[in-house]
């Protein structure tokens, strides 16, 4: 019953946000916050909603893996590395420092930095398409930054994993899984690709099962489910049809994840204030890293500003990391920061032309007064 109502709320929100071309991710989270235990108390998280939420993030990560074709990535590795490097260095360290200053210990500061370093691929790519920016070179760099971040996510999941009693053994298991993925990514699509071309229920059922296999891996081998999901996706990225099959599953479960996540969060005043500070730093950080990346790769500060403005929005990955590994006030803080940056980020990306014009006028005035 609860799920049907949650779904209905999300359908309405999705339709409204599409109509006004606003990002839908913050809408789902805000609705969850309002209806959930911290708000009106109409919904409470239970076992079923937890399972659905977990399925949602696993689907998302599996889908990310599917889009990371090892062969195509390695052809562009130079571009991807140079585009994503400053973004990582600047944003991760900035948020880490602010989190430590706010009184978090190093493990939690590392988690907050991991969560808020990563932009929302969903919002960022959608605004590039909707705001018709795909002709520009800057947009390509933005896309490479997103790919770089997708790869770093896999690493951050491993590094944030708390249940590591035996670090060497754990790392060994992760390495074996990674090596297996690499070795099998050439064979698996040929071996089982045919299963996804059938006309019966096998393709959908099998795709759904493979996507969720990560959870089973976590139980048997104690490897983080999210990491396994990305690796399984990578391994099967050669099967084009699989992406089409899994997309509707991902859409449904991920939307419900945002909503159920919102329900489970109790926004504290402290968290909210810290969230505001983190949001401001997160926005400034992306603009700075964008400026430097643009100056470095396209020899233009204005291109850099465009890159920065386009990458401000945080979203699904931040929420996933804080959902999977967070526990205390950092959950409130990151949630608040995501809601703020996603809305402001979408706005900045939409109005980047105007902002660039005023920025260059300001720069001219500044240099003429000098």
Partner 1 sequence: MVRFIGLEGVGTKYELETKSGDKIAVIFLLNKRIQVYIQEKSCEKPCSIEITEMEAKRLSSILGGVPIEKERESVEIDFMGVPDLTLAMHTYTVSKKLHGKTIEELAIRKRTGANIVAVSRSGKTIISPPPHLIFEEGDVIVVIGDKEQIEKFEKEILGI
Is position 264 an interface residue for partner 1 (rule: CB under 8 A)?
no
Q: Which residues of 164-176 are buried (b: 16+ CB within 10 A; e: fewer)?
A: eeeeeebeeebee
Q: Is 192 in the site for partner 1 (CB under 8 A)?
A: no
> Which of residues 47 and 132 has its CB atom nearest to partner 1 in the complex?
132
- Region of 111-119, 130-138, 204-212, 324-332 interacting with partner 1 (CB under 8 A): 130-138
Cα–Cα dist 223/306, whole Å: 39
Please choose, out of 15-23, 134-142, 289-297, 343-351, the segment that lies near partner 1 by the rule CB under 8 A: 134-142
**DSSP code for 338:** H
* Diameter over CA atoms, the chain: 72
Cβ distance to partner 1 smaller for residue 148 or 257 = 148
Check residue 263 for interaction with partner 1 (CB under 8 A): no
What's phi and psi for 260, nearest 5 deg? -65, -30
DSSP 196: G
Instruction: Confirm or reject binding of residue 22 to partner 1 (CB under 8 A).
Output: no
In this structure, the chain runs to a length of 370
Between 147 and 337, name the residue whose CB sits nearer to partner 1: 147
Site for partner 1 (CB under 8 A): which residue of 57, 123, 147, 235? Answer: 147
Shortest distance (Å) from residue 72 CB to partner 1: 6
Shortest Å distance, C-beta 101 to partner 1: 34
Which of 11, 134, 179, 363 touches partner 1 by CB under 8 A? 134
Q: Which is nearer to partner 1, 129 or 159 (CB)?
A: 129
Nearer to partner 1, 24 or 121 (CB): 121
Nearer to partner 1 (CB atom), residue 49 or residue 349: 349
Determine contact, residues 249/58, Cβ cutoff 8 Å.
Answer: no
Eight-class DSSP state of 38: T
Q: What residues from 37 to 96 belong to the interface with partner 1 (CB under 8 A)?
A: 67-68, 72-73
Q: Find, among 234, 243, 186, 251, the residue nearest to 65 by Cα.
A: 234
The residue count for binding partner 1 (CB under 8 A) is 17
For partner 1, the binding residue among 4, 135, 167, 191 (CB under 8 A) is 135
Nearer to partner 1, 46 or 130 (CB): 130
H helices within the chain, ranges in order?
2-19, 25-35, 47-67, 70-75, 77-101, 106-117, 121-130, 137-160, 167-184, 188-192, 202-221, 225-235, 240-264, 269-298, 301-310, 316-325, 329-350, 352-369
Of 262 and 304, which CB lies nearer to partner 1 in the complex structure?
304
- Indicate the DSSP class of residue 165: S
- Phi/psi-derived region of residue 299, left when phi > 0, alpha when psi is between -120 and 50, beta in every other case: left
Scanning the structure block, which residue is given the tokens 């804080």?
322
**With binding defined as CB under 8 A, does residue 300 bind partner 1?**
no
State which of positions 336-355 bind partner 1 (CB under 8 A): 353
Q: Nearest Cα to 120, choosing from 320, 363, 293? A: 320
The answer to whether 273 contacts partner 1 (rule: CB under 8 A) is no
Site map for partner 1, 110-129, x if CB under 8 A? -----------x---x--xx
Residues that bind partner 1 (CB under 8 A): 67-68, 72-73, 121, 125, 128-129, 132, 134-135, 140, 143, 146-147, 150, 353
């Amino acid at each position: 019953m609860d799920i049907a109502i949650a779904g209905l709320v999300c359908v309405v929100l999705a339709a409204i946000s599409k109509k006004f071309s606003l990002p839908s991710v913050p809408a789902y989270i805000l609705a969850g916050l309002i209806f959930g235990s911290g708000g009106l108390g109409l919904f409470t998280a239970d076992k079923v909603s937890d399972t659905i939420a977990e399925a949602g993030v696993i689907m998302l990560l599996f889908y990310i893996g599917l889009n990371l074709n090892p062969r195509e990535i390695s052809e562009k590795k130079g571009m991807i590395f140079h585009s994503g490097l400053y973004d990582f260095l600047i944003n991760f360290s900035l948020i880490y420092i602010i989190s430590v200053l706010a009184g978090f210990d190093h493990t939690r500061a590392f988690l907050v930095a991991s969560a808020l370093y990563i932009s929302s691929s969903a919002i960022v790519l959608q605004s590039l398409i909707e705001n018709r920016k795909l002709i520009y070179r800057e947009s390509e760099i933005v896309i490479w930054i997103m790919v770089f971040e997708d790869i770093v996510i896999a690493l951050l999941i491993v590094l944030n994993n708390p249940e590591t009693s035996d670090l060497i053994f754990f790392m060994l298991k992760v390495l074996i899984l990674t090596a297996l993925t690499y070795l099998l990514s050439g064979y698996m699509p040929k071996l089982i690709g045919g299963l996804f071309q059938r006309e019966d229920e096998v393709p959908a059922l099998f795709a759904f099962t493979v996507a969720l296999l990560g959870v089973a891996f976590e139980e048997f081998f104690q490897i983080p489910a999210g990491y396994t999901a990305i690796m399984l996706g990578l391994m099967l990225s050669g099967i084009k049809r699989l992406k089409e099959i899994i997309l509707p599953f991902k859409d449904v479960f991920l939307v419900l994840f945002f909503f159920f996540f919102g329900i489970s969060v109790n926004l504290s005043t402290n968290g909210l204030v810290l969230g505001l500070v983190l949001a401001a730093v997160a926005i400034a950080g992306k603009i700075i890293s964008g400026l430097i990346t643009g100056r470095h790769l396209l020899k233009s500060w204005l291109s850099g500003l465009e890159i920065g403005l386009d990458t401000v929005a945080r979203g699904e990955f931040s929420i996933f990391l804080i959902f999977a590994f967070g526990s205390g006030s950092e959950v409130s803080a990151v949630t608040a920061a995501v809601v703020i940056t996603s809305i402001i980020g979408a706005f900045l990306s939409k109005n980047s032309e105007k902002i660039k014009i005023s920025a260059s006028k300001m720069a001219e005035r500044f240099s003429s007064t000098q």
